[in-house]
């Protein structure tokens, strides 16, 4: 569990660390502020996922078909909330641009991170709600390790070429 948690931290926080090492604070600041906003939005999924997990675990204990049926049903609910959160996050760009003076280049971060919200929800459904609830947590942990490795390689190439956009691209590639 420790190594999977460490891998998750690398993926979710690596963009800011990598940018901070190689780019001026103006680049890091814009990226990091949008990243913090998206993390606040995605934090709503932690208690939702924890509430849904026992339902799916119980269903998987009754059999794989029951578990998958439950995961699909709860996954649809979770997915609808994810899409709504992504749309709300994207719509919030105007607020942050007009009232807080976010620079125009932050718009691409809002777009990319809105997509990341949806990808993260799908990963939660597939990973926590199906693999872990179905008794395959070791596979889910290996997925985190692979994601960290993919993120590091992607970041090496993409952050240097695209700065903050490269950090989000790396995050998205690692999540997929």
Write down the pTM of the prediction.
0.90
pLDDT in tens, 116-163: 999 999 998 998 899 999 999 889 888 888 988 998 999 999 999 999
Q: Measure the CA–CA gap between 15 and 20, rounded to whole angstroms.
A: 8
Query: Cα–Cα distance between 129 and 31 in angstroms, integer?
Result: 30
Cα four-point dihedral sign 66, 72, 75, 76: negative
Predicted confidence at residue 13, as pLDDT, reads 79
Say if CB 18 and CB 38 are below 8 A apart. Answer: no
The ranges of the chain with pLDDT < 50 are none
């Amino acid at each position: 569990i420790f190594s999977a948690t460490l891998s998750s931290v690398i993926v979710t926080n690596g963009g800011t660390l990598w940018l901070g090492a190689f780019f001026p604070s103006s680049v890091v600041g814009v990226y990091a502020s949008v990243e913090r906003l998206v993390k606040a939005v995605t934090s709503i999924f932690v208690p939702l996922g924890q509430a849904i997990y026992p339902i799916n675990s119980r269903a998987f204990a009754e059999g794989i078909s029951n578990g998958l049926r439950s995961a699909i049903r709860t996954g649809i609910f979770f997915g609808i909330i994810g899409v709504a959160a992504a749309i709300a996050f994207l719509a919030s760009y105007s607020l942050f641009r007009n009232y807080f003076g976010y620079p125009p280049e932050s718009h691409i971060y809002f777009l990319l991170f809105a997509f990341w919200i949806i990808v993260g929800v799908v990963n939660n459904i597939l990973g926590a709600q199906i693999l872990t609830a179905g008794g395959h947590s070791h596979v889910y942990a290996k997925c985190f390790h692979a994601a960290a490795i993919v993120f590091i390689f992607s970041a090496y190439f993409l952050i240097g070429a695209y700065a903050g956009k490269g950090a989000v691209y790396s995050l998205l590639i690692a999540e997929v």
